[in-house]
């Protein structure tokens, strides 16, 4: 369960000195596991918000992603019918609207959770785009709107998402650079800042030298079509950190029970996306989403302006989807090891099953010292280590991402392991000399 005193004991969250993950001010690593409750701060009662946050803290989440303003694509007002600003005059803010957000963020922090607010939703596609201030407003109008929120919420424990769901092409990036430099460019003693980008887009090659940008936040799509899987496994998120290190975090992977094309995404798809996201760059964190909860539905329905994604259950039902428990096991696994030392290690693999079928992609990471290795197999099967590299004194285990249980990984022949079942598994090895293991995995 999240420690309510983590910020008191260790200080606010910043970027680590090696710029690969998030850490508290005293250097204690902060594992980012966020839940996506976009509409939660806007529409929840205080009692319901407390119930939800207690559940997420108990399930080892460490952060909550929210929208701070309305109107936006999925909510026209807050629960009281209020709006954050006058759409005809974006510089006219309504303080009474933000009093609700103040309290919801305070409640997030009281449970030891990091608040991750989107300051201006910027989706510039679809028929609802004109509801989004990040799309319609100029830089001149956005600067005071965002600065007002930053000044108001800066006393809290936060990570800023400057803009949400935008396709940040050249001209739009010029606007957001201007906004970010004006609001965040005057100091480095502040909460981390990033963008939330539209699915399968990557604006960061053009932003890598911007001093206000502290991490690479991206969105990998809500389905498992091959293009999306390959983008996640070997596309832009896997590359830029090598020459310009920053924490790399998938802020919106597959949502549980969302149904693009009429096919609800199961917990298995959520797990796959989460583990691939954690191992495709230096391990820093990942987000989770439940369809119905992110829109804070009070009854089964489609989300506003989100046709074609299926009916979302009410928030209190979606809160208990089994994938949220899988995320609890995920957090327990990574926080039981020095996860911040892990970096992708494809050289551990003698062959990559994912080359021909991305659904079989095996992700491997290792610490630089070589005393820790983590391999995620999305489908069960054999795991073959090169001979003469695994010694009896070295500990190998299977971790079950569905139950959180460990099983001793005993070779069924020299250097040859087989997963306990045909489902997804994690192979964990500790005290392995650097470069010791060469692994081949073949799915059943």
CB 327 within 8 A of CB 336: no
Say what the pLDDT of residue 439 is. 38
Q: What pLDDT, on a 0 to 100 scale, did the predictor assign at position 3?
A: 81
pLDDT confidence of residue 386? 62
Task: State the pTM of this model.
Answer: 0.95
What pLDDT does residue 437 have?
39
Give the pLDDT of residue 443.
30
The CATH number, out of the four listed (2.40.30.10, 3.20.20.80, 3.40.50.150, 3.30.1060.10), of the domain defined by the range 6-340: 3.20.20.80
Q: Where are the domains of the chain?
A: 6-340, 345-441
**What's the average pLDDT block by block, 10 residues per block, for the chain (444 residues)?**
86 98 98 98 98 98 98 98 90 95 98 98 96 97 97 98 97 97 92 98 96 97 96 98 98 97 96 98 98 98 97 98 98 98 90 92 92 94 68 82 96 85 96 44 32
Closest-CA residue to 307 (of 269, 256, 255, 261): 261
pLDDT of residue 186: 85
CATH class of residue range 345-441: mainly beta
pLDDT of residue 91: 86
């Amino acid at each position: 369960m999240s420690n309510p005193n983590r910020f008191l004991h260790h200080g606010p969250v910043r970027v680590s000195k090696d710029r690969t993950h998030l850490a508290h001010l005293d250097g204690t690593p902060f594992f980012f596991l966020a839940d996506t409750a976009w509409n939660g701060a806007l529409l929840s009662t205080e009692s319901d918000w407390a119930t939800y946050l207690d559940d997420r803290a108990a399930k080892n989440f460490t952060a909550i992603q929210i929208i701070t303003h309305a109107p936006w694509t999925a909510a026209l007002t807050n629960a009281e019918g209020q709006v954050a600003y006058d759409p005809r005059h974006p510089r006219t803010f309504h303080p009474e609207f933000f009093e609700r957000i103040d309290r919801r963020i305070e409640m997030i922090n009281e449970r030891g959770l990091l608040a991750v607010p989107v300051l201006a939703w910027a989706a510039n596609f679809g028929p609802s785009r004109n509801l989004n201030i990040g799309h319609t407003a100029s830089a001149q109008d956005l600067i005071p709107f965002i600065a007002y929120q930053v000044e108001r919420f800066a006393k809290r424990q936060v990570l800023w998402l400057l803009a949400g769901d935008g396709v940040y092409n050249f001209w739009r990036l010029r606007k957001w650079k201007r906004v970010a430099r004006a609001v965040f460019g005057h100091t480095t003693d502040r909460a981390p800042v990033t963008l939330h980008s539209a699915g399968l887009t990557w604006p960061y090659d053009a932003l890598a030298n911007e001093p206000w940008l502290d991490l690479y936040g991206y969105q990998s799509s809500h389905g498992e079509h091959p293009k999306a899987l390959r983008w996640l496994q070997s596309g832009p998120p896997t590359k830029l950190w090598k020459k310009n290190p920053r924490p790399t975090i998938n802020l919106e992977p597959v949502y549980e029970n969302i149904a693009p094309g009429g096919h609800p995404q199961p917990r298995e798809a959520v797990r796959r996306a989460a583990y691939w996201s954690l191992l495709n760059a230096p391990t820093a964190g990942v987000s989770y989403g439940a369809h119905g909860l992110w829109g804070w539905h009070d009854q089964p329905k489609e989300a506003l302006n989100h046709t074609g994604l299926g009916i979302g259950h009410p928030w209190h039902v979606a809160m208990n989807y089994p994938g949220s428990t899988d995320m609890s096991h995920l957090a327990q696994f990574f926080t039981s090891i020095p996860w911040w030392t892990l970096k992708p290690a494809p050289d551990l693999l003698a062959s990559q099953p994912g080359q021909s079928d991305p659904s079989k992609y095996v992700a491997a990471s290792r610490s630089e010292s070589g005393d820790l290795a983590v391999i995620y197999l999305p489908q069960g099967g054999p795991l073959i280590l090169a001979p003469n590299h695994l010694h009896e004194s070295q500990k190998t285990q299977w971790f079950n991402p569905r139950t959180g249980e460990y099983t001793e990984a005993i070779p069924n022949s020299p250097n040859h392991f087989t997963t306990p079942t045909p489902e997804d598994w994690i192979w964990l090895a500790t005290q392995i000399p650097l470069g010791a293991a060469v692994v081949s995995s073949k799915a059943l």
